[in-house]
Structure 1
């Protein structure tokens, strides 16, 4: 049970009389009389199944399913010509053009094998771009200009540079496997007979430049260099690439209208009312089509565009996650009161609470070394107080 999680996804059509969502069908999903079933399911080149729904006004799509934490170990080690062409294709978010091809060749001029070329691209991106959220514009073109973006832009560029060198690569769209709406995007590149190899340039950047960003989170982090070749194993996947063709065909019959369009490569894009040549920019976990023609339309927020999801861990990880937040709050409050009132009981309470707090991280295997040091120091401090 420790390697599985439960995903609870919910979407409600509050926007228009008829709304069309597309999403990759979870492999373990089972439908019952309470589920809205897809109107069409299509096999797509990633090996996944693309579901198409029609939701009437106030109708909901609710999927609750158990899934294994994602790993590339179960992925194929060989690739057909059709699959290779798909993962070498030119896209809007990850273009293969003169600029990206020239840059890729410059970065890898000293490397011989595809594996070492991919590693050189990994180091180049980590060293030369800055993580910010949200980015001012989506896509590689904007990322190369601004040299800053979020996990999406880091991933789009890695995909583009690998593909420019004829190395099959994909942008993997998913979520951290705990809590609510913890979206994330990373990469995989393919070596024949080795299979798909994980790469996470944005997490490598954060762990190198902002090492305390995830210090008290429920995420097990790695040394930044290890994000070339592996992940921490706390992820679920919604889609194994971006710019998936939407079937049935996404029709842009109405003129797109929104008060706050996003930018893709500097151009306005109305999410949920436009497509990228019939393709979703990405499915996280859905892409929708709705009609909005004037400014009297209800305010559209993130839940209208992506739905909401919550991921629940199982086993010991879930058991030790629950107390973490309130233990830290109790420890800090009692420590503050002890600073004011200098009470023996308050001092014992806050030190003991910190000890239990540190143990939660250790049992969850999150930053074991540093929290073991904290645990040792606080235990010695508590023993000193008791003596």
Structure 2
């Protein structure tokens, strides 16, 4: 994991970030001015970064799993994960909806599962969303992984099931941000849920066909994930320490819409909280020399994640074999050639093998693999 933020345009910024649970960093970097333990059990670091200074964290981290998470919660922790927030509100509408969805279920786990199915069935994935927050999502019926996860959190909390929106990234490539959920069952612990990925695999199953993500059947996203993600923050709307001071007369530079109202990213907070830490939140002052919009690196910094070992090998083989197969198949269509035909079929065999070794769609790709092997043998036999 390599994270980099450079302050190129502001005289000075304040920056908040959850420190990753690693023993050491591989780069010399800025020392935080303050570190505070927050209710999620994580450490929130506060930095002051002057112009042309940078924050650089380079480290190795295990892929995230709930197995090492705690199996019981204190009363204070339960209260925290049942709290009412702006992005995931507990109000008459969310409470009524949660009760309607779960009235036939008895256990908390069954109720959470009913909420999972309801969201996947009734909402549509759209990126980028026109508005953030559950209130807008309930009206528009469309949003991205953030809105899907915020709604799941709100509906669980509304019926007294501790839940959180987990903010992180896919464990490959550059700036592949993602958000999903966990809900808590006493003695069983935190259980993973990903409603937006379930939606994509149910409605658009080939969306990640050429990607490095090892997808699973959509129903399995209740209770597990594919195991290719890292976590930046174990909830949203984290209170910022030291206190975040909103600009009284902010000139909105980076505007996003939260529940129908403009919000100035980097100039305002949500009642002293960051909307989400992915992986940072910043505070800057605007002057007339600054642009009216900032790019992603000026707001979030940049991160890049690279897997090791067999997972990296299979991911590289999957993409390169698909590209090779597509190019040689096209060339063979234009100029029929035995070597081109054998190459594209062999490339597809490698491509299908990658899916099988990654345990993706085993039945489908086993059949496709068998078909392609027979086709290649027929081609070679005919030569």
Q: TM-score, normalised by structure 2?
A: 0.96
Is 1:84 matched with 2:90? no
Q: 1:228 aligns with which of 222, 233, 255?
A: 222
**Structure 1, unpaired ranges of 5+:** 1-6
2:212 aligned residue: 218
Counting matched residue pairs gives: 381
1:3 aligned residue: none
Q: CA deviation at 1:359?
A: 2.4
2:370 aligned residue: 376
Equivalence map 1:34-53=2 (5 Å): 34-53=28-47
Moved more, 234-243 or 224-233: 224-233
2:137 aligned residue: 143
2:94 aligned residue: 100
- 1:218/1:366 contact within 8 Å kept: no
Q: 1:177 aligns with which of 171, 181, 186?
A: 171
User: How far apart, in 1, do the equivalents of 2:273 and 2:232 lie?
Assistant: 16
Q: TM-score, normalised by structure 1?
A: 0.95
User: How far apart, in 1, do the equivalents of 2:69 and 2:262 lie?
Assistant: 37
CA change 1:296–1:82 in 2 (3 A) is closer
Please provide the CA RMSD for this pair: 1.6
SS at 1:144 equivalent: helix
1:4 aligned residue: none
Is 1:199 matched with 2:189? no
2:280 aligned residue: 286
2:10 aligned residue: 16
- 1:355/1:378 contact within 8 Å kept: yes
Write out per-residue CA displacement over residues 238-265 of structure 1, whole angstroms, 9 at most, x where no aligned residue: 1000000000111124522234511000
Q: CA deviation at 1:382?
A: 0.8
User: How far apart, in 2, do the equivalents of 1:377 and 1:364 lie?
Assistant: 19
Q: CA deviation at 1:131?
A: 0.7
Q: 1:325 aligns with which of 313, 319, 322?
A: 319
1:258 aligned residue: 252
SS at 1:53 equivalent: strand
SS at 1:262 equivalent: strand
User: How far apart, in 1, do the equivalents of 2:23 and 2:296 lie?
Assistant: 24
Write out per-residue CA displacement over residues 201-249 of structure 1, whole angstroms, 9 at most, x where no aligned residue: 1111111111111122211112111111111111111100000000011
2:231 aligned residue: 237
Moved more, 195-204 or 354-363: 354-363
User: How far apart, in 2, do the equivalents of 1:36 and 1:8 lie?
Assistant: 15
Q: CA deviation at 1:32?
A: 7.1
- 1:259/1:295 contact within 8 Å kept: no
Is 1:134 matched with 2:131? no
User: How far apart, in 2, do the equivalents of 1:107 and 1:279 lie?
Assistant: 30
2:263 aligned residue: 269
Q: CA deviation at 1:75?
A: 0.8
Write out per-residue CA displacement over residues 58-77 of structure 1, whole angstroms, 9 at most, x where no aligned residue: 11111111111111111111
1:69 aligned residue: 63
- 2:26/2:58 contact within 8 Å kept: no
Q: CA deviation at 1:187?
A: 0.7
User: How far apart, in 1, do the equivalents of 2:109 and 2:197 lie?
Assistant: 20
Structure with the larger RCO, 1 or 2 (CA within 8 Å, 6+ apart)? 1
User: How far apart, in 2, do the equivalents of 1:282 and 1:116 lie?
Assistant: 28
Q: CA deviation at 1:295?
A: 6.3
**Structure 2, unpaired ranges of 5+:** none
User: How far apart, in 2, do the equivalents of 1:370 and 1:31 lie?
Assistant: 42
Q: 1:304 aligns with which of 293, 298, 304?
A: 298
Q: CA deviation at 1:320?
A: 2.5
Equivalence map 1:340-359=2 (5 Å): 340-359=334-353
User: How far apart, in 2, do the equivalents of 1:32 and 1:127 lie?
Assistant: 45
